[in-house]
Amino acid sequence: MRKFYNSRTVLYSYTFQLNSIVVLIQFKYIKNITLRVKSDGSVVVSAPAYTSSKYVESYIQSKHTWIMAKRNAMLAKTGMYPITNQQVYLWGEKHSTKLHKQELESLYKQQLLTALPKVITTTQDICQVQAKEWRVRNMSSRWGSCIPNKKRIWLSTHLAAYPPECLTYVAIHELCHLYEANHSAQFYALLDRFYPDWKRCKQLLKQPLYPTF
Cα atoms found within 13 Å of the Cα of residue 158, Cβ hemisphere only: 18
**Which pLDDT value is given to residue 78?**
66
Give me the mean pLDDT over the 45-64 stretch: 93
Contact residues for 173 (Cβ-Cβ < 8 A; gap 6+): 143, 144, 191, 195, 198
> Over the chain, what is the mean pLDDT?
87
**Which pLDDT value is given to residue 212?**
56
Q: Is 5 helix (H, G, I), strand (E, B) or coil?
A: coil
Tens digit of each residue's pLDDT (9 = 90 or more) over 61-79: 999 989 988 887 777 776 6
Contact residues for 41 (Cβ-Cβ < 8 A; gap 6+): 71, 74, 75, 80
Tens digit of each residue's pLDDT (9 = 90 or more) over 104-117: 888 889 889 999 99
Q: Is it the case that residue 24 has pLDDT exceeding 70?
A: yes
**Which pLDDT value is given to residue 177?**
97
Cα atoms found within 13 Å of the Cα of residue 49, Cβ hemisphere only: 11
Residue 140 to residue 156: CA distance in whole angstroms: 8
Tens digit of each residue's pLDDT (9 = 90 or more) over 126-173: 999 999 999 999 987 899 999 999 999 999 999 999 999 999 999 999
% the chain with pLDDT above 70: 88
Beta bridge partners, 100, equal 82
Q: Which domains does the chain have, with CATH numbers?
A: 10-78 (no CATH), 87-204 (3.30.2010.10)
pTM listed for this prediction: 0.63
